Amino acid sequence: MFQDITLGQYFPGQSIIHRLDPRTKIFAVFALLIMIFSAATSTEYFFLTALIFFFVLLSKIQMSAVVRSLRPLKWLIAFTFVIHLFSHEGAELFRLGVLTATVDGLRAGLLISLRLMLMIVASSLLTFTTAPLKLTDATEKLLTPLKAVGVPAHELAMMMTIALRFIPTLFEEADKIIKAQKIRGLDIERGNFVKRLKMMVPILVPLFLSAFRRADDLAMAMEARCYRGGEGRTHMKSLEITRLDRLAIAAIALIAGAFVMIRMLSV
Amino acid sequence: MIEVKNVSYRYDDRAALDGIDLTIDDGEFVAIIGANGSGKSTLAKNLNGLLLPTEGRVLVDGIDTRDDVWSVRARVGMVFQNPDNQIVGAVVEDDVAFGPENLGVEPLEIRRRVDEALSTVGMLEYRGAAPHKLSGGQKQRVAIAGVLAMRTKCIVFDEATAMLDPRGRSEVLSTIEDLHRRGLTIVMITHHMDEAARASRVIVMDGGRIVKLGSAREIFSDVRWLKKIGLEVPAAAELGARLRLKNILSADDLIARLKR
Ligand SMILES: Nc1ncnc2c1ncn2[C@@H]1O[C@H](COP(=O)(O)OP(=O)(O)OP(=O)(O)O)[C@@H](O)[C@H]1O
Ligand SMILES: [Mg+2]
């Protein structure tokens, strides 16, 4: 039932992208997202698509995995496309009742869908090529300056780690509870929305109860292993900015520069 | 290495431990048995400062658990019953590193300890695995490695085999025996007599007190008394008692004796 969740999935590897410091990757993804967000012309989209395609090749992640990362959002993409298709003025393409599809609408719809897909692929590249622990460590490091204004950097990172550890366990447990309740005659696949929502109660209540139990046990186990917050803690896998990272950051800066130039030329 | 001096413990208004006196020596293998609610887990949690005694004192290498709980926990580690609820890391080796990271050990040294601990419990080849993909016995071995990497001198097992299938149970038990041979002090809480029989000393608890203390053979010779205080007795031991045979702990013992 929960098999095709790729959320936060990591594919171990040794590619250049894998070897980058997670902070470099987070920075690069942000830069890419800003570029994708500000792209307007087909030239710019073409440039960014080619760029991200190149990054996927560099990462040696299988294309099928990249395509799979788009699947959970396929309806959002389709919906956005349809909205744009029918909501622009201009030369008529075809009619559907009161709705008119236009050429401009088609163009806008395609570009917006492309934008969404590029954003998803760019951010998936980050989680595909970065071990969860490194990602949380990087989050902690990046948030550390914000500690001064009261952001609990270490606690947030620890929460992410524990969530990543327990999401699969809780999914497995939900699966078990659903099966157990089905045996007792619960039918969750039929009925209207409200009815189905009501059916969730005998699944969610045991799930929550057990989650609280787990949290209790886990807190005890962490304490027994001398956990007392971020103060004085070391990390086995310490993060390190290497020559490769400096190169990558320079490359991203150059790419951003090139992008700005394309923008200015097309205005 | 651990001295429990006249310790009582109360949860709110309910007494769970009542005047416990106990000394555990370096390198000893002690088993604690007792019926449900007899106070075994409460005693275990008092040994490393997860709970502090209401009365009396617990000393670990001379350090009072009230004075410096972190030094105590760096000496006495603990493995709990539920394998799923004590693994923190999303990857096996990250979890094993959790303890030494908390102790502020240098990164390179942590790496060394993690690899060593994982190979001691025979889980080195799983170091990159996700914990939820492992069997129960494997998860418990990872939890044990997590304590080993902290280099504690003593490990307390609170029914660490209770939720495992027979195979996982024997994996964990042989790991525990191996650790004892390597010189670690072992405290093992269990409901199974054949497990307790591996210890050099068995402690029987009832109603928050230590009611008997001795070698496994001494303790298990009185099957009627064990049943009276609510302990499960293995079928073989019970049959042995009815046949008026002494020192029967397992089916193997019984068969050997009947053959004679
Ligand atoms: N958190 C708690 N709050 C209140 N009472 C508790 C708590 N934990 C345990 N007790 C009570 O303290 C007594 C001793 O419990 P303890 O868990 O130490 O027993 P145990 O020997 O470990 O039992 P089991 O074999 O079931 O694990 C029991 O009567 C129990 O009900
Ligand atoms: Mg208990």
Could you give the domains of chain B? 2-220 (3.40.50.300), 231-260 (no CATH)
Nearest CA to ligand 1 atom 18: B39
- The pLDDT averaged over each successive group of 10 residues in chain A (267 residues) is 52 90 94 92 91 94 89 89 88 84 90 93 91 85 89 89 85 88 78 77 88 92 93 87 93 93 82
Ligand 1 mutation pick, B11, B12, B158, B189, max ligand atoms within 8 A of CB? B11
- pLDDT for res A135: 86
- pLDDT for res B140: 97
Radius of gyration of chain A, Cα coordinates, nearest whole angstrom = 23
Residue scoring higher pLDDT (B147 or B248): B147
Radius of gyration of chain B, Cα coordinates, nearest whole angstrom = 19
Maximal CA-CA distance, chain B = 60
Of residues B73, B98, B104, nearest to A232 (C-beta): B104
- pLDDT for res B158: 96
Residue scoring higher pLDDT (B37 or A72): B37
- pLDDT for res B211: 93
Task: Convert A35-104 into a string of H (helix), E (strand) and C (coil).
Answer: HHHHCCCHHHHHHHHHHHHHHHHHHCCCHHHHHHHHHHHHHHHHHHHHHHHHCCCCCEEEEECCEEEEHH
A19 touches chain B (CB under 8 A): no
| B81 CA closest ligand 1 atom index | 27
- pLDDT for res A8: 56
What is the separation of C-alpha B201 from the centre of its chain, rounded to a whole number of angstroms? Answer: 13
A155 touches chain B (CB under 8 A): no
Note whether A88 and A102 are within 8 A (CB). Answer: yes
- pLDDT for res A77: 92
Give me the torsion for CA of B125, B131, B136, B142, rounded to 10°: 60
Cα–Cα distance between A188 and A179 in angstroms, integer?
Answer: 10
- What is the ipTM score, two decimals? 0.90
Q: Residue B187 forms beta bridges with which residues?
A: B30, B156
B201-206 sheet: strands from edge to edge: B76-79, B154-158, B185-189, B29-34, B201-206, B209-214
**Report field, pTM of the whole predicted structure over 0.90:** no
